[in-house]
Amino acid sequence: MSTFALDQIQQQLPDALVERYVDRAGDAWGVIKPERIQDTARLLKDKLGFRLFVSMDAVDRLHLPPEEQSPRFEVLYFICSPERSEHVRLKVRADEGQEVPTIRFIYQGANWAERFVWDFYGVPFKGHGDLRRMLMYEEFVGHALRKDYPLRGRQGLIAERPIKDIFRGPGTNGVAE
């Protein structure tokens, strides 16, 4: 894990970094203000060589102790510098319905990752422009990985969508003409 990246963020964007800590696995984390995630991502990619967007996820903090429930969501970013062989782990904390600025124009890989987080947790990304369901069907109600989604929640079946068959040419359907 890169303490170098967190040190640089702290030096170059002192108002962006809210908190630094080391988790129980020994990994360093930086908590970034939501409005400064784009500036932080640009700094990491353009000046510090963290060019590889690895992944992104979210955490719903609903069932944590009451003092830790607010803000409700944490959006997690995992970014790598191949030249330095270092990873940086960042978090942005957001309340219910609060928009987190998109980084999809900085890291192209964040496009689908932000859609995934929206699809399963309901965290909206400001400026994304294409937040639509990615893995769940369009008529699905709610967000399946939220802690308030019912454990045995069932949704009604949807009508089968018409799909145009692909023309396969003569002799491919097994019927003699």
pLDDT tens per residue across span 105-157: 999 999 999 999 999 999 999 999 989 998 988 888 999 999 998 888 788 77
Tell me the mean pLDDT in the region 59-71. 94
Count of beta carbons in the 10 Å neighbourhood of residue 36 = 18
Secondary structure class of 144 (helix, strand, coil): coil
Distance in angstroms (rounded) separating the CA atoms of residues 13 and 47: 12
- Token look-up 């145009």 returns 164
The domains located in the chain, with CATH, are 3-126 (3.30.460.80)
Local confidence band at 172 (pLDDT 50, 70, 90 cut-offs): low
Tell me the mean pLDDT in the region 63-86. 95
Distance in angstroms (rounded) separating the CA atoms of residues 139 and 23: 38
Q: Closest Cα partner for 17 from 3, 1, 30, 2?
A: 30
Backbone angles phi, psi at 10, to 5 degrees: -65, -35
pLDDT of residue 158: 78
Distance in angstroms (rounded) separating the CA atoms of residues 135 and 132: 10
For 31, 94, 130, the CA distances from 65, given in Å and listed in that order, are 19, 17, 35
Measured in whole angstroms, how far is the alpha carbon of residue 139 from the centre of its chain?
A: 21
Measured in whole angstroms, how far is the alpha carbon of residue 35 from the centre of its chain?
A: 16
pLDDT of residue 157: 76
Backbone angles phi, psi at 95, to 5 degrees: -80, 170
37-41, 83-87, 119-123, 147-151 — which is least confidently predicted?
147-151
pLDDT of residue 166: 58
Q: State pTM to two decimals.
A: 0.86
Q: Are 30 and 58 in contact (CB under 8 A)?
A: no
Tell me the mean pLDDT in the region 68-96. 95
